[in-house]
Amino acid sequence: MCNGPDNSGGTAAAGTGTITASVRSLVPNHPACTEALALARSSLPASLLYHSFRVYLYAQAFQHFFQDDGNPSPSPSPASQASTSSSAGPSAPTPPHVLFVASLLHDIGTATVHDPVPERFEVVSADAAAAILRSHGTPEYLVKDAWLAMALHTSPGIAERLGGTVRALRLAVRADFGSYPAPAAELLPGGAETVNVIRWKLPRLEIEKDLGDAVVRQALGEPLKAPGGSWPGDLVRAKREDPGWEGVNRAF
């Protein structure tokens, strides 16, 4: 299936990502997903688009990894997942289209069209996804669940304790950035085949640099996007402390 990495769209320019047939086959068949995918493809650089797809796949695995009582299932990944609290309450699996929209658009607030909006990118992203879900008749309790998951996805120690979609999205983001164990192949939808898709069709490119730079760019133009104590605020502070640094933001 895979002949080599797809490195197309390696710049931070929006609309450069390529969605192959193998990746598209993983998208839920729902009009909200079609709209969210079109928005993400046109608004995000390839690195953020691929990151968002990986987050969706990981979030699916984390949703099913935990039992309804909040405890890990009897078949955990090789990593123990020990850092996650088991205090979260019961939660039913999120419908695939809701989880997809939340995952794919969790960083859409960093798109240049949102530069003037005086809100954190996480909140802007959550608002955009909520609007799409509502427009396609999604029940309000599911819209709220997706909104909270997106708005809190950079909030350590909070999202992990809330369970459900909020926890799944947070852990998926952490797994993609290496601060939490990635789910084992058998927990991913499609198993080993999906691992190949992640490796070859959803390359990392320069996701850490591109995302950090986008958040800082916005916040330097609109300070309300980076309030004190927030992840965007940490990124801006690091940039100001070493303005000549051209690598991945030191606070990433």
Closest CA to 210 of 6, 7, 5, 14: 14
Provide the number of structural domains found in the chain: 2
Between CA 82 and CA 62 the distance in angstroms is 13
Under 8 Å between Cβ of 95 and 142 = yes
Question: Does the pLDDT at position 243 exceed 80?
Answer: yes
Confidence of residue 87 (pLDDT cuts 50, 70, 90): very low
DSSP character for 105? T
110 lies in a domain? Answer: yes
> Is the model more confident about 239 or about 10?
239
185 and 215 belong to one structural domain: no
The tally of CA atoms less than 13 A away on the side-chain side of residue 218 is: 29
pLDDT given at position 93: 83
8 lies in a domain? Answer: no
104 and 224 belong to one structural domain: no
pLDDT in tens, 187-242: 999 999 999 999 999 999 999 999 999 999 999 999 999 999 999 999 999 999 99
Last residue of a domain, one of 184, 203, 222: 203
244 lies in a domain? Answer: yes
CATH of the domain at 172: 1.10.3210
Give the pLDDT mean for 24-52. Answer: 98
pLDDT given at position 91: 56
pLDDT in tens, 89-108: 445 789 999 999 999 999 99
Confidence of residue 80 (pLDDT cuts 50, 70, 90): very low
150 lies in a domain? Answer: yes
Tokens of 184: 């084992």
86 lies in a domain? Answer: yes
Last residue of a domain, one of 203, 223, 242: 203
Confidence of residue 65 (pLDDT cuts 50, 70, 90): confident
Between CA 249 and CA 35 the distance in angstroms is 32
16 lies in a domain? Answer: no
pLDDT given at position 131: 98
Between CA 76 and CA 92 the distance in angstroms is 19
Closest CA to 74 of 187, 189, 192: 187
Between CA 230 and CA 134 the distance in angstroms is 28
pLDDT given at position 64: 84
235 and 132 belong to one structural domain: no
pLDDT given at position 66: 72
56 and 120 belong to one structural domain: yes
198 and 247 belong to one structural domain: no
96 lies in a domain? Answer: yes
Confidence of residue 38 (pLDDT cuts 50, 70, 90): very high
92 and 78 belong to one structural domain: yes
Distances (CA, A) of 26 to 123, 124, 153: 26, 26, 22
Lookup result for tokens 């997903």: 33
**Which domain covers residue 212, as residue numbers?**
206-252
pLDDT in tens, 124-170: 999 999 999 999 999 999 999 999 999 999 999 999 999 899 999 99
227 and 134 belong to one structural domain: no
Angle at 151 between CA 85 and CA 106, to 5 degrees: 100
110 and 146 belong to one structural domain: yes
2 lies in a domain? Answer: no
Under 8 Å between Cβ of 126 and 150 = yes
Under 8 Å between Cβ of 6 and 203 = yes
Between CA 222 and CA 234 the distance in angstroms is 15
